[in-house]
Structure 1
Amino acid sequence: MRTTSVGVFKVATKGPGDVSGLMSLIVSGAIDPAAILAILGKTEGNGGVNDFTREYAVAALCTALAPKLDLTPHEVEQRIAFVMSGGTEGVLSPHITVFTRQQVAKPLTGISGKRLSIGMAQTRDFLPEELGRSAQITETAKAVKAAMADAGISDAADVHFVQIKCPLLTSERVEAASARGSKTATISAYSSMAYSRGASALGVAVALGEISPDLRDQDVLHRYDLFSKVASTSSGIELMHNVVIVLGNSGGSASEFEIGHAVMSDAIDAPAVVSALTSVGLDIAPQTSTGRQLVNVFAKAEASPDGTVRGFRHTMLEDTDISSTRHARAAVGGLIAGLAGTGAVYVSGGAEHQGPAGGGPVAAIARLL
């Protein structure tokens, strides 16, 4: 019995505070604000610790949606999962992707098979000394399972992308831990982003049975043979818990949309991107495909930690002027944009334990026409 329908809307933005596109869709009736479950966005900041375009974008969206939902902006942020990924280097274009979920009495004609489903969950708040360690792995795994249940997905094979927003450390948070006699995984705010992303990704892998749950703190950022094929994690200063969004396909969904994924082995793995597109019935140039329409592509990118790509040296880790994550986003973003026919794709940097080292998951969502 198909009981829910998931909608997906990609909206271009003129800046991190631009909510005009979303508001237009709400005013026109295309989007019911009460049905919005999650919003994923790419903002044009640097993607680093001090990238406040992420917080600015969330604040603008919450302020705009508050009167539509008869809630305070703070209550909106508690109700809707916001994941803003900073950095639109190269041809990447700033945009947001809005996910809605509604109950339906009768599915549209032609809807069959497993269709797009979405679920959301949150962990408890973490202590600073828990970031990047087994506590974050364990609590994330619990939240992933809860989000799967919320999405109506029971088979891990039907999960195609797990997006997580996770915390990072600040000097104040490190000092707070030290005052309690505890030591954090790192005292570097920038390094803490990687630790948090990595532990969160390992939590996904544990929840989906991709790896054994017998992990140690020291496995994070060291055992790169341990990874998830569907995890996408992004660090931010604006929270101290993990927000988990599970995207997959379910027989209980009456959605017009479908999601599929593949795993990039490195930053130039074009066949993997093609595989993700074809998994949802799209050609390499989706804009010319018949019967299906590309909505968005979601991917992770990182500079290969061994300093090479297919035997040739890269300099992404040696460039002190530009962060390696910015290099990686630009490279992978350009590759995907060329194959997808659009620069408005969601590519997030920092893929620790998200796909094999130097690679990362790539997922595509298509709409049935």
Structure 2
Amino acid sequence: MKIGVHKVAMAAPNDVSELAALIVAGTVDPARIVALIGKTEGNGGANDFTRGYATLSYQLLLAPLLGLSPEEVGHRIAFVWSGGTEGVLSPHATVLTRDESIAPPVAGDKRLALGIATTRTILPEEVGTMVQVREVARAVRVALDQAGIAEPADVHYVQVKGPLLTPAAVAEAEARGRPTVTRDPNGSKPYARGATALGVALALGEVAEEALSDAAIARRLDLFSKVASTSAGGELTACEVLLFGNSPSATSDFRIGHAVLRDAIDADAVIEAIGSADPESGSPGSGRLDAAARSRIAAIFAKAEASPTGRIRGRRNTMLSDADIHYERHARAALGAVIASVTGDPALFVSGGTEHQCGPGEAPIAAIVQVR
């Protein structure tokens, strides 16, 4: 397995010109595209339609090239979008290709591998419940096997995008006599994100199933995964799992590493994640990367969270009490600036909401780095 990583800028949610240019140049073979992960300039809420708009735009680009309908492209390629490019964050997409042709791996080395799996449709009454947890766990195990990764310790990032509750979904469930975890679409996000994160934790052995229950989801935040990054959107009805790790059977030009951000200004953890993938790039405490190390960074994926105490490093902030701007938008803007100051590139995947994704107040970060 050989994974390709290509970052493309987007001038608007419907701008697919940079990927089109890579295809024309022969740099990207559309037949090998398996996933896109990106940031759009929407609000990141339940009514963020930029995510679906971007998906449709890429489907329309790829459909004639693949001889498929736009809907068939959506079934073939995983599209994961996070809305909200506050602060310096730049709209972009990371295009991932996979070549399954057999080639001898580098002896004794582990390189970037990617497994992709999708759950069955998650019914509205199942969002944010143990049903969703178990379905995601099953999909993670499928993705793990597909990636050729035998050891959970070699997994560094699991991106899951699943459904949240829309007014229509809530009404449909209630018409069948099935209550949902909440009737509030935006209020369903913590349950949806939390259930999918716990599914990752369950599959990777980070939590025991007997510790889990419906009542624990979005409440028992001492139960978590250190490598899960989960999002929820109204444009999905199933959960899409993208599992990244390093495998001895992969022949990619990249490795992936991860770390835990202890707060939104933890620059050391950014360097730690990069160093986890490429030990020569730097170490925590060094405070910076040289130009060569920066040039090898192919992608950064991170989650952003406000401190549950309302303080960072002893200083009070107003993220949780600001009635005008949701705390997720504050956190994304702050963390995006910190990461960009280290990497020199604001085209970063920074998503809000960390229910069961690292401990309270913490957040995961992963880095894909080109191997020298």
Q: Please give the alpha-carbon distance, in whole angstroms, between the structure 2 residues aligned to 1:313 and 1:49.
A: 29
Corresponding residue number in structure 2 for 1:328: 331
Aligned partner of 2:317 among 314, 318, 328:
314
Query: 2:74 aligned with 1:77, yes or no?
Result: yes
Query: 2:36 aligned with 1:33, yes or no?
Result: no
TM alignment of 1:289-304, pairs within 5 A: 289=292, 293-304=296-307
Q: 1:104 to 1:112 in 2, by over 3 A?
A: farther
Q: Cα offset for 1:213?
A: 1.1
TM alignment of 1:199-238, pairs within 5 A: 199-214=195-210, 215-238=212-235
Query: 2:244 aligned with 1:247, yes or no?
Result: yes
Q: Cα offset for 1:37?
A: 0.8
* Paired amino acid for 2:56: A
Q: Cα offset for 1:265?
A: 1.7
Q: 1:77 to 1:175 in 2, by over 3 A?
A: same
Q: Cα offset for 1:111?
A: 7.3
Aligned partner of 1:118 among 92, 107, 114:
114
Q: Please give the alpha-carbon distance, in whole angstroms, between the structure 1 residues aligned to 2:88 and 2:44.
A: 16
Q: Please give the alpha-carbon distance, in whole angstroms, between the structure 1 residues aligned to 2:215 and 2:345.
A: 40
Aligned partner of 2:152 among 148, 153, 156:
156
Query: 2:40 aligned with 1:48, yes or no?
Result: no
The runs of at least 4 consecutive aligned structure 1 residues that moved more than 4 Å come to: 284-287
Corresponding residue number in structure 2 for 1:128: 124
Please give the TM-score of this superposition, normalised by the length of structure 2: 0.95
Q: Please give the alpha-carbon distance, in whole angstroms, between the structure 2 residues aligned to 1:223 and 1:257.
A: 36
Aligned partner of 1:351 among 349, 354, 360:
354
Q: Please give the alpha-carbon distance, in whole angstroms, between the structure 1 residues aligned to 2:92 and 2:184.
A: 30
Q: Cα offset for 1:257?
A: 0.5
Corresponding residue number in structure 1 for 2:367: 364
Q: Larger deviation: 78-87 or 274-283?
A: 274-283
Aligned partner of 1:102 among 96, 99, 104:
99
Q: Please give the alpha-carbon distance, in whole angstroms, between the structure 1 residues aligned to 2:133 and 2:203.
A: 9
Q: 1:181 to 1:290 in 2, by over 3 A?
A: closer
Aligned partner of 1:10 among 7, 11, 14:
7
Q: 1:290 to 1:46 in 2, by over 3 A?
A: closer
* Paired amino acid for 1:254: T
SS at match of 1:363: strand
Q: 1:221 to 1:69 in 2, by over 3 A?
A: same
Q: Please give the alpha-carbon distance, in whole angstroms, between the structure 1 residues aligned to 2:317 and 2:221.
A: 19
Q: Larger deviation: 307-316 or 327-336?
A: 307-316
Q: 1:364 to 1:291 in 2, by over 3 A?
A: closer
Q: Percent identity?
A: 53
SS at match of 1:305: coil
Q: 1:107 to 1:7 in 2, by over 3 A?
A: farther
Please say if residues 168 and 192 of structure 1, whose CA atoms lie closer than 8 Å, have aligned partners that are also in contact: yes
Please give the TM-score of this superposition, normalised by the length of structure 1: 0.95
SS at match of 1:77: helix
SS at match of 2:269: helix
Q: Cα offset for 1:317?
A: 1.4
SS at match of 2:218: coil
Equivalenced residue count is: 365
Q: Larger deviation: 286-295 or 246-255?
A: 286-295
* Paired amino acid for 2:362: G
* Paired amino acid for 1:217: D
Please say if residues 8 and 18 of structure 2, whose CA atoms lie closer than 8 Å, have aligned partners that are also in contact: yes
Q: Cα offset for 1:310?
A: 3.3
Q: Please give the alpha-carbon distance, in whole angstroms, between the structure 2 residues aligned to 1:131 and 1:352.
A: 14
Please say if residues 13 and 95 of structure 1, whose CA atoms lie closer than 8 Å, have aligned partners that are also in contact: yes
Corresponding residue number in structure 2 for 1:176: 172
* Paired amino acid for 1:60: S
Q: Please give the alpha-carbon distance, in whole angstroms, between the structure 1 residues aligned to 2:208 and 2:201.
A: 8
Query: 2:67 aligned with 1:64, yes or no?
Result: no
Give unpaired runs (5+ residues) of structure 2: none
Please say if residues 18 and 60 of structure 1, whose CA atoms lie closer than 8 Å, have aligned partners that are also in contact: yes
Q: Please give the alpha-carbon distance, in whole angstroms, between the structure 1 residues aligned to 2:167 and 2:77.
A: 29
Q: Please give the alpha-carbon distance, in whole angstroms, between the structure 1 residues aligned to 2:148 and 2:67.
A: 28
Q: Please give the alpha-carbon distance, in whole angstroms, between the structure 2 residues aligned to 1:340 and 1:291.
A: 6
Q: Cα offset for 1:107?
A: 4.8
* Paired amino acid for 2:52: E
Q: Please give the alpha-carbon distance, in whole angstroms, between the structure 2 residues aligned to 1:111 and 1:290.
A: 24
Please say if residues 294 and 343 of structure 2, whose CA atoms lie closer than 8 Å, have aligned partners that are also in contact: no
SS at match of 2:296: strand
> For the aligned residues, what is the CA RMSD?
1.6
Q: Cα offset for 1:327?
A: 0.6
